[in-house]
Structure 1
Amino acid sequence: MKETQKTERIRIPPAVREYVFQRDNCQCKACGKTQLETELNIDHIIPLARGGSNDISNLQTLCRTCNQSKKHHFDSRFKRHYS
């Protein structure tokens, strides 16, 4: 089995964070809570530890609770809900 190379973590620039929040309607992609209901974070859809990239297409908005429950494991419940 081929070992996945971990991608280096970089700081997500403020403009990219704002773009992802706006693209995702300031709403958690897993549970649907909005920024008025909870703290939102930027998350890597495919974790860096599993070879995911820092590309904007691999970023999504998650609330703190959903983000912490995802950890570094890929969970099929966490999917892109946008095109």
Structure 2
Amino acid sequence: MIAVRYFAAAADAAGTTAESLEPGTLAEVLAAMAERHGERLAEVVTRCSLLLDGAKVSDPETPVAANAKLDVLPPFAGG
């Protein structure tokens, strides 16, 4: 399993701050998230930064291995 953490608007759209999902490619993980939580989360994720074990990822073919941590971070206001 992988650990997914949702922040701010992503947590709102997912209805949770964390969950476990099956490993796979980034595209497969994002598809699983959308299937589980619906179009609202899928739309929010398009504006998010994704951090895989602390490193930014965007390539849909990036492997997300078992025991990885994926953070879903919407843009934050302020500064």
| More relative contact order, 1 or 2 (CA 8 Å, 6+ apart) | 2
Q: How high is the TM-score relative to the length of structure 2? A: 0.29
For the pair shown, the structure with the greater C-alpha radius of gyration is 1
Structure with the higher helix share, 1 or 2? 2
